[in-house]
């Protein structure tokens, strides 16, 4: 693995763990951190021994938002040319599942980063919000779009227009996150979930992730057609033959990712 300045990386079983590591700035997201994050995700995505990834911060802060010092004097054109927001979009190109393990503050760009992941596991201390309105701007990396799809229009309106925050239990009730655990367990449970997913058939996992994300971008009719075609295509894989034979033979399958 490469050495990074703003993140820590580790391989645990079949899971790639990435820890945001700017504690003095509450893991504020700048382009350097995001660039390293996307580089490490890509590296794990290309590693056949890795089946899923987990992104986390520390117990007090996942990420408190974007690093405002990088933006305070920027013009519209400078922001359009900045690689900051496009870096968020790169996570959509990651084929393997990515889990956000969140504790403490998950605000602004931090919440947008968590929502860009495929699943969100939270500690009881987590707080979710989009406070950009206090800075005279709006969320720019998916906050108005992904948050609304997750929690619904009226809750998203209050969070974005008036800086409402959600506790972990509220976030769970509004379907923003998957599960809530005590602070001492949230990362362990995130790694367990990632490991369970990593043990599944790789091609099927990646195809399922792609189709679920695809469903937010197309009509139901188009999505159903694309799902059927993806389903049919998996019958050309070794894993489909192995999975079905293993089921009939009452044994655990041995996936090849092919």
pLDDT band at 100 (very low <50, low <70, confident <90, very high): very high
Residue 112 known to be catalytic: yes
Residue 67 pLDDT > 90: no
Residue 109 known to be catalytic: yes
pLDDT tens digits, one per residue of 207-233: 999 999 999 999 999 999 999 999 999
pLDDT band at 90 (very low <50, low <70, confident <90, very high): confident
Distance between CA 93 and CA 96 in Å, rounded?
Answer: 9
- Strands (DSSP E) contained in 21-150 are 52-56, 61-63, 98-102, 105-107, 119-123, 127-129
pLDDT band at 92 (very low <50, low <70, confident <90, very high): confident
Token pair listed for 22? 């700017």
pLDDT of residue 70: 80
Residue 132 known to be catalytic: yes
Pick the closest to residue 121 from 92, 142, 99, 97 (CA basis).
99
Q: Which of 114, 132, 194, 204 is catalytic?
A: 132
- The average confidence (pLDDT) of the chain is 95
pLDDT of residue 190: 98
- Per DSSP, the three-state class of 56 is strand
Q: Which of 104, 109, 110, 243 is catalytic?
A: 109
Mean local confidence (pLDDT), 203-207: 97
Residue 201 known to be catalytic: no
pLDDT tens digits, one per residue of 111-165: 999 999 999 999 999 999 999 999 999 999 999 999 999 999 999 999 999 999 9
pLDDT of residue 193: 98
Domains and CATH numbers, the chain: 7-198 (3.90.226.10), 202-248 (1.10.12.10)
pLDDT tens digits, one per residue of 47-63: 999 999 999 999 999 99
Residue 81 pLDDT > 90: no
Q: Which of 52, 63, 66, 156 is catalytic?
A: 66
Residue 88 pLDDT > 90: no
Q: Which of 52, 110, 112, 168 is catalytic?
A: 112
* Between residues 92 and 180, the one the model is more confident about: 180
pLDDT of residue 83: 81
| Residue 88: partners with Cβ closer than 8 Å, 6 or more residues away | 34, 109, 112, 113, 116, 141, 142
């Amino acid at each position: 693995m490469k050495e990074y300045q703003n993140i820590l990386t580790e391989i645990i079983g079949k899971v790639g763990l990435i820890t945001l590591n700017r504690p003095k700035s509450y893991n504020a997201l700048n382009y350097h951190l995001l660039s390293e994050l996307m580089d490490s995700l890509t590296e794990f995505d290309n590693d056949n021994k890795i089946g899923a990834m987990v992104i986390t911060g520390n117990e007090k802060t996942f990420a408190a938002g974007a690093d405002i010092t990088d933006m305070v004097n920027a013009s519209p054109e400078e922001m359009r040319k900045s690689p900051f927001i496009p870096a968020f979009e790169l996570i959509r190109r990651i084929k393997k599942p990515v889990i956000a393990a969140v504790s403490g503050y998950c605000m602004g760009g931090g919440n947008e980063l968590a929502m860009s992941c495929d699943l969100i596991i939270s500690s009881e201390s987590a707080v979710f919000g989009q406070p950009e309105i206090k800075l005279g701007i709006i969320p720019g990396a998916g906050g108005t779009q992904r948050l609304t799809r997750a929690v619904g229009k009226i809750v998203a309106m209050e969070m974005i227009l008036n800086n409402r925050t959600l506790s972990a239990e509220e976030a769970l009730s509004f379907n923003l996150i998957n599960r809530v655990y005590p602070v001492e367990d949230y990362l362990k449970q995130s790694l367990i979930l990632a490991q369970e997913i990593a043990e599944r058939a790789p091609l099927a996992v990646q195809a399922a992730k792609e189709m679920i994300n695809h469903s937010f971008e197309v009509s139901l009719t188009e999505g159903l057609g694309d799902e059927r075609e993806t389903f049919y295509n998996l019958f050309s894989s070794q894993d489909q033959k192995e999975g079905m034979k293993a089921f009939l033979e009452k044994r655990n399958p041995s996936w090849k990712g092919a």
